[in-house]
Structure 1
Amino acid sequence: MSHHPLDRLTADEIDAARVVLEQAGLLTPTTRFAVVQLVEPSRAELAAFREGDPVDRRVRSVLLDVATGATRTSIVSATHARVVSVTDVDTAQGQAPIMLEEFMLVDEIVKADETWAKAMAVRGITDLSLVRPCPLSAGDFDLPGEKGRRLLRVLSFLANREEDHCWAHPIDGIVAYVDLIEKRVIKVIDQAEFPIPAEEGNFDDPAYVGPMRTTLKPISITQPDGPSFSVDGSLVTWEGWQFRVGYDAREGLVLHQISLQGRPLIHRASIAEMVVPYADPSPVRFWQNYFDAGEYLLGVNVNALDLGCDCLGEIHYFDAVLADGEGRPAVFPNAICLHEEDHGVLWKHTDLFTGSKNTRRQRRLVISFFVTVGNYDYGFYWYLYLDGTIQFESKATGVMFTSSYQDDSPYATEVAPGLGAPYHQHLFSARLDMTVDGPRNAVDELQVQRVPVSAENPVGNAFTRSSTRLKRESEAQRLADPLNGRVWRIVNPESANRMGRPVGYQLHAQGTPVLLADPSSSIHRRAGFATKHLWVTRYAEDERYPAGELVNQSTPHAGLPTYAAADRDIDGQEIVVWHTFGSTHFPRLEDWPVMPVETTGFTLKPVGFFDRNPTLDVPDSRELTAHGEGAHSCACC
């Protein structure tokens, strides 16, 4: 039984929701659950909740009839065993997320198509059992006959044998368009017969890798007295920090009600979307743009984390419970990893006059999970620091999506003989439902300002800083500017520090490129959120996703462009800060055959939130070492 409105969904609740829908006659033998999620209470509902209050747990499902394509959303009260609402979906505006069983179905559909099979034969491929059709989201390009159809586009790869990694052998120049409801190929585009790269890329084969190095010595991470954090159900407490761990089938890890020293900071924090647009404009690849949350469901693609490999030290794991296509619960063990780790020097000073020497070490709490979406693997890491800093980091690794490399392509890197890795971007959208020291916040844009030589600045050394309040949603669609030190400070106009100024937290953006596709392109219209580093919107319970509710084959301008078009007041209101960040990947040879982690992210730092350094009470690290063991390692601590 759930005791808090934000507890993660349980197997019993998922089962209960399915039974209610069955009893209501809303399920047929061809109904599938494309996504099942907890209906989270609103800000107001959570503010009114007190421990021990009754909790009405509601479950939202997207139901897809795989025989007809008809789609509807339902909300069920698992607590009271009743249907709250059912809404039909206009599939011409967007489709349900792609399901695992549909990915598996594509192999059968494509290999049964005569046109596609003949194209394989022309390329000398007769054993279709070694061909790996790769089902990919179709997007929306206003192509004739596609509107309202549930589609995937399929590129293919060849394995030399069952254990051979097929990504090294793209069968390029051909793509199949598949209708998932009709269960047939509706179009094959056979552009050209490109050579299939022959060199293998089996990074897990000793024959390919060679002998393992023997020079690395073990690193042991121990906490003899256990970790400093405590866990009570979904509630985590650590060094003044407190938050709840949530999990969503679409977003994956969600952090709720983040507070520090009893003061609220963020009501809800998640990575609400990510888009991976590719740069190859060829006839068989121009459509390659993937929304990994809205189309593929990040949370459903979670890995079970392994101690010693994914996480080191004293670990607390949280399981995730998700629904399969039949609406039945499945437990994903070790989905979320919680641990703390040393992070170098926190502060240090050797004083010239007093002779005192002081060093304190930084420590951070890490909350993470990993997903595999097709060829890429992504780690999502939230860090909380002793000094009040909040940081997010994405770690992209895995195998790059490959192509045949021809004629010094301006859109790909040749990473092995005849093997290309197309240029692409990984763009994430963080949704930060801010509550800095209270529910009503505002955002100021700050940047450096040069001061010309004048009577007040006779030698020209002066510089200062400008501050501009973003008052309406139309003003709060901004780009980062690292050369001018642009940052965004989220402040509480109703809460002042001892200097009489509003308390705040400052968003530091990396300022990497936003979406590079042309403004007239389909992906530019569908991923409008990715054209700005910052959006600020008025809080609305139903505005959860930066690219809209149903992203698969979605129509233009859904999500943030539509939300912000209302041009609501955001000055001293309940607000949501949306931050776009990511990487533009021009692949290297070193990224093949498996890519070393590439990181991107952002940082939130307290600015005037505290009245002085909040870590003065962090003890000398020698005092934390039992019996003085290791005291010699930090002589000036």
Structure 2
Amino acid sequence: MANGAILSVPRTKFPELSEDVFAVTSRPWIPPPLKPFDFLPDLMQKNEENLKPRDDIKPLHVVQPEGVSFKLDGNELEWQNWDMHISLTHHKGIALSTITYNDNELQSTRILGNLPLIQVNAVWEQWLMSYCWDVTVLVKFTTCAVVIKNTICIHEEDNGVLWKHTDYRPGGHTQTVRRIWLVVSMVCTLANYEYIWNYHFYQGDSIELEVHLTGILQVYVAETNEPIKFGTKVVPNVNAQYHQHLFSSCVDPMIDCINNSTIESNVVPLPNASTGSDLNFGGNAFIQEDTVLKKEAGRDWDWEKEQKWKIVNLARQHYSSRKDVGYVVRVKGGVTLMMARKDGWALKRAEFLNYPVWVCRDVEGAKGSRMWPAGKMPVEHLNITLKPQSFFTMNPSMDIPGTRDPKSVAAFSQEAAPSHGHAGCH
């Protein structure tokens, strides 16, 4: 084995087109295992005699007897207090623009000018050509434009509790409000992977981009005793390479106006205040430090400081907190840094991956800025959320009434209920 038993071939450099792949790699053709590993139910049941579908799953129906709550007029989408323009492009996929939230006090407040997904990259650790198969036929893909119907899905989902509180004092009351959000989604099949993009619009003012990754793995045939340094043997003689999936999303903010600023915010221990001092007797004091970004730049992410970025309107402050009205950009999950070297091909191809966030001044027109706030996020499940901060006078979802579905019944009858004091949850 080459290179201290790390590689099973002499090099990772691609061969020239005139070179013979097998001669360059000194790697013989390895016959694939004959045992099938399928994902389609009919094939799985055919090849796995002991595999039986689960029969203990009760039906779960999601119904809207009065129809949906959103309206679609051409490309204008309305749902509760949200209003936006929705479109689809071959380059950006779902493109949402002129997003507004109609607040009782602020009337129609524009939040975002544009919110498209703009780039997807997948980076593998190993060179695959000689590892996978001997390619003898070039499959020619058509470049003709076609119409794909039902590309965008719009629906509502029940998503648990929006807010809840129980007054613990004698005679106190309990109030619970269910959370429903609007989902604008798209699914793309790219070779062996499916990417699912969900834009969530909360009743309580937030916007969230959620990315799901599913599909099947990219694999190659490995020898029985071949060293597997850059992957995992999912079944005998079949290796799945380590790799990263990287997404970027651009945000064109218009938070209450077109003149917005970006603030970098860090949570830090109270400086110059030792434990036992008058300012920090218990040693647990911490503050939030805000810095207005004055120049265009790429920014690293410091998770130890709960670092986040706030897009604000410096010309208007919240009536109570006196802080600038704005939205906070948060990332949940999938924040591993790019593993490729700085001078590697991956970063030359997608320079936005040098930093998790880019803050740039917008220049309208064909020669405008092409770099936007972007995330380098290898994900299985990724969430990017824009959440208002010091923006509304009060929680804008407080006008949502509590509900009790008459078709929902206790899981157990009163007689058969477990002895926990309640027959069921409502």
Residues 282 and 385 of structure 1: CA distance in aligned 2, closer, same or farther (over 3 Å): closer
| Pairing 1:484–2:301 present | no
Residues 417 and 435 of structure 1: CA distance in aligned 2, closer, same or farther (over 3 Å): same
Write the distance in 1 (CA, Å) between the matches of 2:58 and 2:192: 31
Query: Which residue number corresponds to residue 111 of structure 1?
Result: none
Query: Which of 177, 186, 200 in structure 2 is aligned with 1:383?
Result: 200
Please report how far the alpha carbon of residue 520 of structure 1 lies from its aligned counterpart in structure 2 after TM superposition: 1.7
| Pairing 1:273–2:96 present | no
**Cα deviations by residue, 1:564-615 (Å, 9 ceiling, x for unpaired):** xxxxxxxxxxxxx52214226xxxxxxxxxxxxx311211111111111111
Specify which structure has the higher proportion of helix. 1
Residues 473 and 174 of structure 1: CA distance in aligned 2, closer, same or farther (over 3 Å): closer
Query: Which of 456, 462, 481 in structure 1 is aligned with 2:279?
Result: 456
Q: The residue matched to 1:483 in structure 2 has which SS?
A: helix
Query: Which residue number corresponds to residue 87 of structure 2?
Result: 246
Supply the AA of the counterpart residue of 2:77: V
Unaligned runs of 5+ in 2: 1-10, 103-107, 132-140, 412-422
Residues 631 and 208 of structure 1: CA distance in aligned 2, closer, same or farther (over 3 Å): closer
> After TM superposition, where is structure 1 displaced by more than 4 Å over at least 4 residues in a row?
173-178, 185-188, 281-285, 542-546, 628-637
Residues 398 and 630 of structure 1: CA distance in aligned 2, closer, same or farther (over 3 Å): closer
Please report how far the alpha carbon of residue 175 of structure 1 lies from its aligned counterpart in structure 2 after TM superposition: 11
Write the distance in 1 (CA, Å) between the matches of 2:211 and 2:247: 9
Write the distance in 1 (CA, Å) between the matches of 2:128 and 2:152: 39
Residues 528 and 326 of structure 1: CA distance in aligned 2, closer, same or farther (over 3 Å): closer
Write the distance in 1 (CA, Å) between the matches of 2:128 and 2:381: 29
- TM-score, length of structure 2 as denominator length: 0.80
**Cα deviations by residue, 1:255-306 (Å, 9 ceiling, x for unpaired):** 1111111211111111100111111257858xxxxxxxxxxxxxxx9xxxxx
Residues 536 and 176 of structure 1: CA distance in aligned 2, closer, same or farther (over 3 Å): closer
Supply the AA of the counterpart residue of 1:618: I
Query: Which residue number corresponds to residue 249 of structure 2?
Result: 430
Write the distance in 2 (CA, Å) between the matches of 1:635 and 1:208: 42
Write the distance in 1 (CA, Å) between the matches of 2:394 and 2:409: 29
Residues 602 and 531 of structure 1: CA distance in aligned 2, closer, same or farther (over 3 Å): same
Query: Which residue number corresponds to residue 138 of structure 2?
Result: none
Query: Which residue number corresponds to residue 533 of structure 1?
Result: 356
Query: Which residue number corresponds to residue 392 of structure 1?
Result: 209
Query: Which residue number corresponds to residue 383 of structure 2?
Result: 601
Write the distance in 2 (CA, Å) between the matches of 1:472 and 1:522: 28
Q: The residue matched to 1:253 in structure 2 has which SS?
A: strand
**Cα deviations by residue, 1:436-455 (Å, 9 ceiling, x for unpaired):** 11111111111111124133
Please report how far the alpha carbon of residue 509 of structure 1 lies from its aligned counterpart in structure 2 after TM superposition: 1.7
Write the distance in 2 (CA, Å) between the matches of 1:440 and 1:345: 35
Please report how far the alpha carbon of residue 355 of structure 1 lies from its aligned counterpart in structure 2 after TM superposition: 0.9
Supply the AA of the counterpart residue of 2:377: G
Write the distance in 2 (CA, Å) between the matches of 1:531 and 1:197: 38
Write the distance in 2 (CA, Å) between the matches of 1:404 and 1:630: 51
Query: Which of 164, 170, 173 in structure 2 is aligned with 1:356?
Result: 173
- TM-score, length of structure 1 as denominator length: 0.55
Supply the AA of the counterpart residue of 2:116: S
Query: Which residue number corresponds to residue 579 of structure 1?
Result: 374
Please report how far the alpha carbon of residue 176 of structure 1 lies from its aligned counterpart in structure 2 after TM superposition: 9.5
Residues 473 and 404 of structure 1: CA distance in aligned 2, closer, same or farther (over 3 Å): same
Please report how far the alpha carbon of residue 220 of structure 1 lies from its aligned counterpart in structure 2 after TM superposition: 0.5
Query: Which residue number corresponds to residue 319 of structure 2?
Result: 498
**Cα deviations by residue, 1:124-177 (Å, 9 ceiling, x for unpaired):** xxxxxxxxxxxxxxxxxxxxxxxxxxxxxxxxxxxxxxxxxxxxxxxxx99998
**Cα deviations by residue, 1:383-419 (Å, 9 ceiling, x for unpaired):** 0001111111111111111123353321111111111
Unaligned runs of 5+ in 1: 1-172, 179-184, 286-300, 302-323, 547-558, 561-576, 585-597
Supply the AA of the counterpart residue of 1:197: P
Supply the AA of the counterpart residue of 1:346: L
Query: Which residue number corresponds to residue 231 of structure 2?
Result: 412
Please report how far the alpha carbon of residue 515 of structure 1 lies from its aligned counterpart in structure 2 after TM superposition: 1.6
Please report how far the alpha carbon of residue 370 of structure 1 lies from its aligned counterpart in structure 2 after TM superposition: 0.5
User: Contact 1:514/1:580 (CA < 8 Å) preserved in 2?
Assistant: no
User: Contact 1:246/1:255 (CA < 8 Å) preserved in 2?
Assistant: yes
Query: Which residue number corresponds to residue 167 of structure 1?
Result: none
Write the distance in 1 (CA, Å) between the matches of 2:110 and 2:64: 29
Q: Percent identity of the aligned residues?
A: 28
User: Contact 2:362/2:368 (CA < 8 Å) preserved in 1?
Assistant: no
| Pairing 1:514–2:340 present | no
Please report how far the alpha carbon of residue 630 of structure 1 lies from its aligned counterpart in structure 2 after TM superposition: 4.4
Query: Which of 135, 138, 143 in structure 2 is aligned with 1:325?
Result: 143
Q: The residue matched to 1:508 in structure 2 has which SS?
A: strand
Q: The residue matched to 2:199 in structure 1 has which SS?
A: strand
Residues 579 and 249 of structure 1: CA distance in aligned 2, closer, same or farther (over 3 Å): same
